[in-house]
Structure 1
Amino acid sequence: MTYRVCFVCTGNICRSPMAESVFHARVVEAGLGGLVEVDSAGTGGWHEGEGADPRTVSVLEEAGYAIDHTARQFRPSWFSRLDLVIALDSGHLKALRRLAPTEEDAAKVRLLRSYDPAAGADLDVPDPYYGGVDGFEECLEMVEAASAGLLAAVREHVEGRAA
C-alpha cells in the first residue's frame, strides 16, 4: 500500500513544489520510490495551472533536483487518500486543520520544520516570493534540513505497514 505525502504552501509555486522535489529525491535515494508518493498543493488557487516560480526552478536545478510542476489548490476531499499533509508555515497548518473533515484528518497535518531537530522554536519556512533569489536559497536549506527527519518518520510508517 502506497504512503502518500502532500506538501502545502500558499500558492503552490515556491515552497511546496520545492519541498516536493527535494523529498521525492530523498525517497528515491532511500529506495522507497515504489512505496511513497509525493506531491504538493496550495491553500489558494491563485496560480492553479501555472508552473513553479522561475526562481524555485533555478535554485532546484542548480542544486541538482528535477522539477516538473503544475500548481493546484488543496481540496478537503484529499484527506481521505493522504497519510501526511505537510504545511510549510503555521498559517498553512491552521488553514489545513480547519479544512480537515475529521479530527483524524486534522492530525495528519504537520509542519515541515518540526522534522528538523535544529530548527529551534520558529518552525515556519518563510515565503520567498516577494524577495530575491537568496530567499529561495534559504528556503531550500530549510527544506533539505527537515527532509532527513521527515524521511525517517515516513520510513518508520512504511516499514510498520509492511510488518
Structure 2
Amino acid sequence: MKIKILMVCLGNICRSPLAEGILASKLDSEKFQVDSCGTSNYHIGEKPDRRSIETARKHGIDITNQRAAQFKVSDFDTYDFIYPMDQSNYNDIIKLARNNNDKEKVKLILNELTPNENLDVPDPYYGGEQGFEDVYNMLNNACDNIIKKL
C-alpha cells in the first residue's frame, strides 16, 4: 500500500505543483504517491504557472502534466499526510476536518524545516522569477526533511 502525500496552496498553480514535483522526483513511485491541489477553485484543470514549470525544469523536474484541482473533504480519507504551504491554507483545510484524525494529517510544510514556527511559503505569483527560485529552494529543503521522516 502506497503512502499518499498531498501538497496544498491557494490556486494549485505555483507552490504546491513545485512541492509535488520536487517530492515525487525524490521518492519511489512504487511506494509513494504525491499529488497537489488548491483550497480555491480559481484554476481547476489548468497547468501550473509557466514560472513554476520553468523553475522545475531548470532543476530537472517536469511538472507539465499536472492539472490544478481543489481540496475536498474526501482527501482526508485518501491521503496520509497533507502539507499546506501557508497558515491561510492550513486554516481552510482544518475548517473542513471532520475529526482529530483528519486534523493530525495536516502540517505546515515549512514546519518540517523549522518545527512549530508556522512559517509560510511566500506566494511567488505576483513577484519575479527569483521568487519562484526562492520557493523552490525552501520546498526542496522541506522535502528532504519529509523524506528523512518517511
- TM-score norm. by structure 2 comes to 0.94
2:95 pairs, out of 83, 95, 98, with 98
Gaps of 5+ in 1: 156-163
Residue 78 of structure 2 corresponds to residue 81 of structure 1: yes
Aligned to 2:15: 15
Where is the helix percentage greater, Structure 1 or Structure 2?
Answer: 1
CA distance in 2, matches of 1:77, 1:121: 28
Whole-angstrom distance in 1 between the partners of 2:132 and 2:32? 26
Q: Distance in 2 between matches of 1:33 and 1:41?
A: 19
Asked if 1:138 is matched to 2:134, the reply is: yes
Q: Kindly report structure 1 stretches of 4+ aligned residues shifted beyond 3 Å.
A: 119-122
Q: How does 1:3-152 map to 2 (within 5 A)?
A: 3-27=3-27, 32-67=28-63, 68-117=65-114, 121=117, 123-152=119-148
Paired with 2:105 and 2:116, the residues of 1 have a C-alpha distance of: 22
Counterparts of 2:41 and 2:22, CA distance in 1: 23
- SS of the residue 2:74 aligns to: helix
Could you say which residue in structure 2 is the equivalent of 1:160?
Answer: none
Q: What secondary structure does 2:34 align onto? A: strand
Query: How many residue pairs get matched?
Result: 149
Summarize deviations over 1:17-67 as a string: whole Å, max 9, x none. Answer: 00000000111xxxx321110000000010001100000001110111111
1:120-152 Cα deviation digits (max 9, x unpaired) = 946210000011111111100100111111111
Q: In angstroms, what is the RMSD of aligned CA positions?
A: 1.4
Equivalent residue letter for 1:73: Q
Separation of aligned partners in 2, 1:48 and 1:64: 25
Separation in 2, partners of 1:57, 1:107: 31
Q: TM-score, normalised by structure 1?
A: 0.87
Cα distance in 1, alignment partners of residues 73 and 132 from structure 2: 28
Secondary structure at the aligned position of 1:76 is classed as: coil
